[in-house]
Structure 1
Amino acid sequence: MWCNRRSRRPGVAQHYPPVGVFDLPFAFPNIATAHEVINLKSEFGQKFAEDMHAKTGLKVIGLLDSGGFFALTNAKKEVKTLEDMQGLKIRTMTLPTHETIINSVGGKATPLPWAEVYTALQTGVADGQMNPIPTISFAKFEEVQPYMTLTNHIITPYVWMINEKFYDNLTPEEQRVVDYAAKAAVDAGRGVSRLIEASETRGLPYLSSKMKITTLSEAERQKFAAATQPAVKELIEDQFGADGVALMKALETSIQAASE
């Protein structure tokens, strides 16, 4: 059985580029909506799984967030406004959507492999980076990043997949076991991520004792959204074509329905 929990990473994105629609910035208003949409039970989750299966032959058995909303950290200054992003070198994954988000707010996207990130931040090759709270904490970025801004600009999924031929060759009982295990793991994974975020020793309370934490005002959040969304939508249309645009619109529709 082949399962992959990190479908937002460049390796898998190369095989299924439309996964980039999840990087539509400032699309999710809160974590509850994200949980409802990034879910195989949602209308969008079913559409996503069907499209991925049609294009790759892989059966999706689980969807969950990879640790929560992304925050921005940096070593230069407190970021409170869109203007504060000007010229900041922000490490991103080697994903065009992530690079576009940073460049569209006046920063300088600096794509680097994960193994090089801490050293790059420590030496100034990059001024900052973006990741969920648990990732920031486990990587000990607070040691080299005195500023964090809770932008909540994207939330990326773990996509659990299984080879369809392998799955089809299982007995009905074995398939039920796999399906149940995936569902249980998704539920547990969401709970663990929320616990880590709130942890006094690993989460935001801990990081706030080591870093200057800033939350974007609603007015500034709207400015960030206005700068980033059109750029990413244009990228999705250019790179993923009509199918990508349709998937993105389905995502927006599902978010709107979950928010009502």
Structure 2
Amino acid sequence: MTASPAPLSRSVQAAPARLTVEDIGISFGGVKAVDGVSFTARTGEVLSIIGPNGAGKTTLFNLVSGVYQPKAGKVTLGDEAVTGLSPDRLATRGLSRTFQNLQVFFRMTARENVMVGRHLKERRGLLSHLLALPSTGRQNRESAEVADRLLARVGLSDYADTPAASMPYGALKRLEIARALAAKPEVLLLDEPAAGCNAVETEEIEKLVRAIADEGVAMVLVEHDMKLVMRISDKILVLDQGRMLAEGTGEQIRTNPKVIEAYLGTHGTREANLALD
């Protein structure tokens, strides 16, 4: 039986729902990879999705972000039903995401990578670029200025002209977030944003995620770092074998016997306790 959701803080509880997922599911070869999962992400909220390997976390992200077509259920952005829309159409409606594995353009500079994320917001088409119209030049300058502001926002101003291939791993994780922000999302999905990062880089990611949420973006994370999850999350959703095992605050999740048995174990529980105590 799924645990009852925890009461949220008054400010988050009163915030409007930006992303609503209802009973979503998909099967591969007769195996239910995601089965009847539901959750809501609100404006300014950090929702973390955790669970053992193979629990369906990234598959759930792929369903929500349009990479996979769900066989059941419904996805709503704000008041608009968007189930099954492609990732580019979802991006124009306010949903952006990053991926578990780095998806940067290594031959481009940091600035150019972020500018790619802004193309959906640009007003000039291919013909304008081919004809090298003055309006296109103005637009490119505007995009470069926006990219520079976003690089500053994620602490990467010094890397603006640096090829991505020459940047440290932790900086590349923040670069992906900057590029996702260029599309002006209202909902941002981050797939293991701290994976492979050292303690300093993880702390930078933590501060950045919290700052973005505080600016009104609904943040949804898949993450294995339990210390990070417990410190940053307003709400935590636990998956196991494609189904919801529990949902609640960090305090409720770390003491849930089913979660401890299926996922946290002794070591994970210790990390969760250290993060909250």
Larger relative strand fraction: 2
| TM-score of the pair, normalised by structure 1 | 0.27
Compare relative contact order (CA 8 Å, sep 6+) and give the higher one, 1 or 2. 1
**Structure with greater helix percent:** 1
